Amino acid sequence: MSAAATNDPSALALRALAATLADQRLATRFLSLSGIHPPDLRHRAADPDVLAALLKFLEAHEPDLVAIAEEVGVKPEALVAARRELER
């Protein structure tokens, strides 16, 4: 993974979204709590608000944040920093 991929908040959040959706438990919880329907998510996946909401969802339960960070190959702090950038 290139440094640019880990420094681009949208790219990092998209990777976190893919990892979250690959986990049935997390995917179900995220969709339920966010109120986003799968067809809407397909169209809005690159929307900074959706990506920030996903990262905030992960931050709300540290074990999930750590697991997804590990899955995408970054430290949890990188996901938190990406969320902050997306919310600007």
Tell me the per-residue pLDDT of 30-56, one tens digit each, with 9 for 90 and over. Answer: 999 999 999 999 999 999 999 999 999
Residue 77: the pLDDT is: 98
**Number of structural domains the chain divides into:** 1
Confidence of residue 18 (pLDDT cuts 50, 70, 90): very high
User: d(Cα 9, Cα 63) in Å, to the nearest integer?
Assistant: 21
Can you tell me whether residue 85 is helix, strand or coil?
A: helix
User: d(Cα 73, Cα 67) in Å, to the nearest integer?
Assistant: 10
Domain containing 52 equals 3-86
Residue 7: the pLDDT is: 80
* pTM confidence score: 0.91
Residue 56: the pLDDT is: 98
**Token digits of residue 74:** 């970054």
